[in-house]
Amino acid sequence: MKKYLLQTISVISLFLLITICYGASSSIGGRISDAKTGLPIVNAKLSIQYSTMTTSSDKNGIFSFDNVKAGTYNITCSKAGYISRTKMKINVVTGKDTLVNFSMRLSGKKKVKVELKEAESLQVYDKSMPRRPMKMRMYKKSMNSSRIGSRRSFGPRENHPGHNTEQYNLIKDNEFLSTQKNPLSTFSIDVDTASYSNVRRIIGEGKLPPVDAVRIEELLNYFNYDYPNPKGEHPFSVYTEISKCPWNTDHKLVHIGIQGKKIETSNLPPSNLVFLLDVSGSMNSADKLPLLKSSFKLLVKSMQPSDTVAIVVYAGSSGTVLKPTPASDSATIIAALDKLRAGGSTAGGAGIELAYKLCKENFLKAGNNRVILATDGDFNVGISSQGALIRLIEKKREEGIFLTVLGFGRGNIKDSTMEQIANKGNGNYAYIDSVLEAKKVLVKEMGGTLVTIAKDVKIQVEFNPSKVKGYRLIGYVNRKLANEDFNNDKKDAGELGSGHSVTVLYELVPASSAEKLPDVDELKYQKLIHDPDAKTVDELLTVKFRYKKPTEDKSILITQPLLDKTVGVDKVSDDFMFSAAVAEFGMVLRNSKFKGSSSFKSAKELAQGSLGKDKEGYRKDFIELLDKVMSIKK
């Protein structure tokens, strides 16, 4: 009887995980794994002390308690053959989902065998490698045995241990530039957040991320800021602030914030969505296709009845799994997702062509037309070069169809490819490492993810040389533009979604500083002449913005000066200090030569003092991430 009860609870918990409540409800969820092998632990029993709430882990080791009231709880996890664990003082906040993972060790009293029926869909980690995923192997003996039997292959060889093929574009930190010779700084906005969740995933595995996986602008833009909502004719507001630089007090730090207009879900325009899903062999692991399906079910359940969904898949070949279907018929859409299976090589280019074709056939003139690509980025058949894929995406964006890219998995994720095609496809890029992250991206922030309110948004900052000797843009390395691109309406730039915010930091060297900056020889044929009136103007810099309405091709200009009114660090906003904490975190991870006195410890101190409202708890989670990375360093 107990066995059947546990099986029933497991099914219910999986169902609840897929249909997480929205609004003000809270949930506690996470994953249970073996401490040595990394295997998910199936049918572990979880209970909240002093309550009747219990649940069990599913075949992927995932569990969920839903409709949990705000408060502090102790959760006990137990499984035959393992040492029971209790996590104390887990704080649940109304409307926030709390992530709690358990890593369990064998008790030594009873050997636990892995049954093939339970384990076929799971990943095993090779103990000799630094937590890199490998495909399922059948054990001849128990999990305590080091002898490994015959291999079951579920995907291409590149997913085996020792073949970690994750790819990241080279990033070189921006240098300090002399205002005398480089008075203008021009770049495209970026609302991607993939780098933060990917970095969090790697740190959660007990490792430091590769330096090129750390894009500081994406760390900054992962968080919500209390910027004012736009009130005028423009779809976004601009906020500026200046104070001493925390990691170099001889310098100043300028904080620029952009807040996009928030559109309530009920007022969003109808959407014509095509899900373009990678079902190749490389997607056959618990953190890829199973997580992908759970994520898209969350999105489907939160869509409006006027929306439509089509599904295109690609592996060895591409095909339409579901023709455009009203979101009101969610059962049909979810059934199509449930039938997906992984296998074959990755013909990504052909899938993209088919998805855009289907989206164009059902184009909504007054709606949101978008392809949502979900993949690990491993395009290895057909159009496989990054350059060819980017040219294809650039061609398709002219048809008025936007692109969202969602990355999944580990071990062979092609971050470099996914970031670039999202940038060139008038879209955004997020990395999904858990169902909770899927809920953040596809449910709570659905408007920003799916609805564009301004496209080709560019920023150009002009510095006053009588006030600023030099400056450095923090992050946005691969978003920089030539100065003349600012006025060129044919030059592509980033898109701003409903409710999206963008945060930009500049580190400034005051004009009075004796610090030497990189410079070039004096020009032979012309001399730089500065306006003498610049010394009499109390302006530190001027920020200019250009953007286009989503359906128009002519840009609109906004200009806003920043006065030289530096305030003390005790008077700046929580947003200013928290963004500085995130920047320090990124610079230390990258071991940047510009990090100054930055450290994980000082980043934590800054963050602890600037939590602000933190309605979703993301800032508190950042502090926990800092604790994890400091333990890794130790």
Q: 570 pLDDT exceeds 90? A: no
What pLDDT does residue 162 have? 45
Q: How far is CA 413 from the centre of its chain?
A: 14
271-285, 348-362, 374-388, 561-575: segment of lowest average pLDDT:
374-388
Residue with tokens 């089509």: 310
Q: Tell me if 529 is assigned to some domain.
A: no
164-178, 377-391, 563-577, 581-595: segment of lowest average pLDDT: 377-391
Mean per-residue pLDDT, 569-585: 95
CA-closest candidate to residue 392, choices 553, 271, 276: 276
CATH code assigned at 597: 2.60.40.1230
Task: Give the residue-averaged pLDDT of 498-512.
Answer: 95
Beta carbons within 8 Å of 195's beta carbon, 6+ residues apart: 213, 214, 215, 218, 219, 431
Q: Is 532 a domain residue?
A: no
- 149 and 226 fall within a common domain: no
Say how many domains are in the chain: 4
The better pLDDT of the pair 429, 140 is held by 429
Q: What is the pLDDT of residue 385?
A: 61
DSSP 556: E
Q: What are phi and psi of 74, to 5 degrees?
A: -115, 130
Hey, CA dihedral for 394, 396, 401, 403, is it positive or negative? negative
Query: With bands split at pLDDT 50, 70 and 90, how would you rate the model's confidence at 565?
Result: confident
Nearest CA among 175, 438, 418 for reference residue 290: 438
Q: What is the secondary structure of 239-251 as a DSSP string?
A: EEEEEEETTEEEE
Please give the average per-residue pLDDT across 447-472, as a whole number.
Answer: 93
Structural domain ending residue among the three candidates 59, 78, 104: 104
In a domain, 167, yes or no: no
Q: Which residue has the tokens 């279907």?
A: 325
The amino acid that residue 140 corresponds to is K
Rounded to the nearest integer, the mean pLDDT of the chain is 83
Higher pLDDT pick, 499 / 108: 499
d(CA 57, CA 45): 7
pLDDT (tens digit per residue) in 408-455: 998 888 898 888 888 888 889 999 999 889 999 999 988 888 889 999
Residue 3 has pLDDT above 50, yes or no: no
Check whether residue 92 and residue 125 sit in a common domain: no
Residue 7 scores a pLDDT above 80: no
Identify the pLDDT of residue 469: 96
Q: What is the pLDDT of residue 141?
A: 31
Q: 312 and 354 in contact (C-beta within 8 Å)? A: yes
Structure tokens, 86: 């209790």
Q: Say what the pLDDT of residue 379 is.
A: 66
Examine the domain organization and report whether 476 and 612 are in the same domain.
yes
Distances (CA, A) of 525 to 287, 468, 519, 521, 522: 61, 26, 17, 12, 9
The band of 40, judged by pLDDT with boundaries at 50, 70 and 90, is confident
Mean pLDDT of 313-332: 88
Task: Note the pLDDT of residue 400.
Answer: 87
Asked whether residue 460 falls in the same domain as residue 507, the answer is yes
pLDDT of residue 6: 47
C-alpha torsion angle, residues 279, 285, 291, 296 (rounded to 10): 0
Q: Are residues 97 and 13 in the same domain?
A: yes
Q: How far, in Å, CA of 569 to CA of 39, rounded?
A: 47
Residues 243 and 276 in one domain: no
Q: What is the pLDDT of residue 446?
A: 86
Residue at 233 is within a domain: yes
- Over residues 110-122, the mean pLDDT reads 38
**Is residue 297 a part of any domain in this protein?**
yes
Q: Are residues 471 and 602 in the same domain?
A: yes
Q: What is the pLDDT of residue 25?
A: 62
The pLDDT, as a whole number, for residue 155 is 36
Neighbours of 367 (CB within 10 A): 17
* Residues 391, 329 share a domain: yes
CA distance 603 to 593: 17
| Structural tokens at position 93 | 């906040």
The residue ranking higher by pLDDT, 52 or 1, is 52
For residues 257 and 287, state if they share a domain: no
| Residue 109 pLDDT exceeds 80 | no
Query: Angle, to 10 degrees, between the axis of helix 574-589 and the axis of helix 600-608?
Result: 160
Looking at the structure, tell me whether residues 590 and 492 fall in a common domain.
yes
| Residues with Cβ within 8 Å of residue 23, at least 6 apart in sequence | 95
* 529 contact partners, CB below 8 Å, separation of at least 6: none
Q: For residue 603, what pLDDT band results from cuts at 50, 70 and 90?
A: very high
Q: What is the pLDDT of residue 480?
A: 96
Question: Distance between CA atoms of 492 and 472, rounded to whole angstroms?
Answer: 23
Q: Please indicate, yes or no, if residue 291 is contained in any of the structural domains.
A: yes
- How far apart (Å, rounded) are the C-alpha atoms in residues 633 and 573? 30
User: With 80 as the cut, is the pLDDT of residue 386 above it?
Assistant: no
Question: Beta strand 452-463 with 539-548: parallel, antiparallel or unpaired?
Answer: antiparallel
* pLDDT above 80 for 384: no
Range of the domain at 554: 177-263+453-522+539-633
Shared domain check, 628 and 484: yes
Burial class (CB in 10 A: 0-12, 13-18, 19+), 521: exposed
Position 443 in a domain = no
End-to-end CA separation in angstroms for the chain: 48
C-alpha span between 145 and 455 (Å, rounded): 57
- The pTM assigned to this predicted structure is 0.75
Number of H helices, E strands in the chain: 14, 28
Do 553 and 418 fall into the same domain?
A: no
Answer whether residue 170 is part of any domain. no
DSSP track, 80-120: TTB--EEEEEEEE-TT-EEE--EEE-B-SSS-----HHHHT
* pLDDT band, residue 267 (cuts 50/70/90): confident
Query: 391 near 291, Cβ under 8 Å?
Result: no
Percentage of the residues of the chain whose pLDDT score is greater than 90: 52
142-145: long-range contacts (C-beta < 8 A, 24 or more apart)? 142/111, 142/112, 142/113, 143/34, 143/36, 143/37, 143/39, 143/106, 143/111, 143/112, 143/113, 143/114, 144/106, 144/111
For 294-308, the pLDDT digits (tens) are 999 999 999 999 999
Look at residues 434, 466, 483 and tell me which one is the last residue of a structural domain. 434
Of residues 317 and 545, more confidently modeled: 545
Establish how many alpha carbons lie within 13 A of residue 202's alpha carbon, considering only the half-sphere containing its beta carbon.
Answer: 18
Residue-wise DSSP of 489-550? TTS--EEEETT-EEEEEEEEEETT--------PPPSS------GGGGG--EEEEEEEEEE-T
CA distances from residue 4 to 9, 56, 113, 324, 457 in whole angstroms, order as listed: 9, 12, 20, 40, 57
Among candidate residues 267, 265, 372, 273, the one with its CA nearest the CA of residue 327: 273
What is the token pair recorded at 288? Answer: 């890829």
Grade residue 350 by pLDDT with cuts at 50, 70 and 90. confident
* Biggest CA pair distance of the chain: 92
Give the confidence band of 208 by pLDDT, cuts at 50, 70, 90. Answer: very high
CB 111 within 8 A of CB 142: yes
Q: Is the pLDDT of residue 457 over 90?
A: yes
pLDDT value of residue 108? 64
Q: What is the mean pLDDT of residues 5-28?
A: 50
